[in-house]
């Protein structure tokens, strides 16, 4: 997104201003796999988010991780992850196991925290005149992030997480 006006700097008594008007020069999809043990990210930026691009990303993960590792991928319920060609590829690559997050529970997937981080630090306050420029910014962020990556640490207790899941389950399965 290219902002139609420059950022207004923060001043005494008021916050930084960002116009809500923008020019859209196209879209990009960011695929990311977070290694929860060391914080490193494998990423791929593509123009679309179809099963073909997801399969390319799975192949990239396969190439960039040691072959002896079992890989557990936490994914949302997007239909791309459940296509027949994806299931067939996974059947031929048994070291990959997909785990689907429950509806309304993306917070369970630690890569979502990383997506928030890249959005805050590299995307939200910027203005991009092309998808190519956006892609370059994302790739630069990933490179710099991986140079000093550390794992995310859960701040919540197990009990607070279980209480949140119970609350969500009641909302989902409530009758009447």
At the fourth CATH level, the homologous superfamily of domain 2-173 is Ribonuclease H-like superfamily/Ribonuclease H (3.30.420.10)
User: Rg of the chain's alpha carbons, rounded to an integer?
Assistant: 19
pLDDT of residue 6: 66
Residue spans of the domains in the chain: they are 2-173
What is the pTM (predicted TM-score) of this model?
0.77
42 — pLDDT class (breaks 50, 70, 90):
very high
23 — pLDDT class (breaks 50, 70, 90):
low
Does the pLDDT value for residue 20 go beyond 70? Answer: no
pLDDT in tens, 131-165: 999 999 999 999 999 999 999 887 888 898 889 88
pLDDT of residue 79: 87
Does the pLDDT value for residue 175 go beyond 60? Answer: no
Question: Rounded to whole angstroms, how far apart are CA atoms 103 and 82?
Answer: 15
How confident is the model over 20-48, as a mean pLDDT?
87
pLDDT of residue 16: 63
pLDDT in tens, 53-78: 999 999 999 999 999 999 999 998 88
Answer for the pair 72, 40: CB distance below 8 angstroms, yes or no. no
Question: Rounded to whole angstroms, how far apart are CA atoms 35 and 101?
Answer: 17
Answer for the pair 77, 103: CB distance below 8 angstroms, yes or no. yes
pLDDT in tens, 100-127: 988 877 877 899 999 999 999 998 877 7
Q: What is the 3-state secondary structure (H, E, C) of the chain?
A: CEECCCCECCECCECCECCCCEECCCCCEEEEEECCCCCCEEEEEECCCCHHHHHHHHHHHHHHCCCCCCEEEEECCCHHHHCHHHHHHHHHCCCEEEEECCCCCHHHCHHHHHHHHHHHHHHCCCCCCCHHHHHHHHHHHHHHHHHCCCCCCCCCCHHHHHHHHHHHHHHHHCCC
Is the four-CA dihedral 96, 172, 117, 30 of positive or negative sign?
positive
């Amino acid at each position: 997104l290219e902002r139609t006006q420059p950022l207004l700097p923060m001043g005494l008594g008021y916050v930084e201003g960002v116009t809500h008007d923008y020019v859209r020069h196209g879209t990009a999809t960011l695929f990311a796999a977070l290694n929860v043990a060391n914080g490193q990210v494998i990423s791929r930026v593509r123009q679309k988010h179809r099963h073909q691009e997801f399969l390319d990303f799975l192949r990239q993960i396969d190439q960039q991780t040691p072959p002896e590792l079992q890989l557990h991928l936490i994914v949302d319920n997007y239909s791309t992850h459940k296509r027949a060609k994806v299931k067939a590829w996974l059947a031929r690559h048994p070291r990959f196991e997909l785990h689907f997050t429950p509806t309304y529970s993306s917070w369970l997937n630690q890569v979502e925290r990383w997506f928030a981080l890249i959005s805050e630090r590299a995307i939200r306050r910027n203005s991009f005149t092309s998808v190519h420029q956006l892609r370059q910014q994302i790739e630069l962020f990933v490179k710099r992030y991986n140079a000093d990556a550390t794992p995310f640490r859960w701040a919540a207790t197990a009990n607070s997480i279980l209480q949140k899941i119970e609350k969500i389950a009641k909302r989902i399965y409530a009758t009447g």
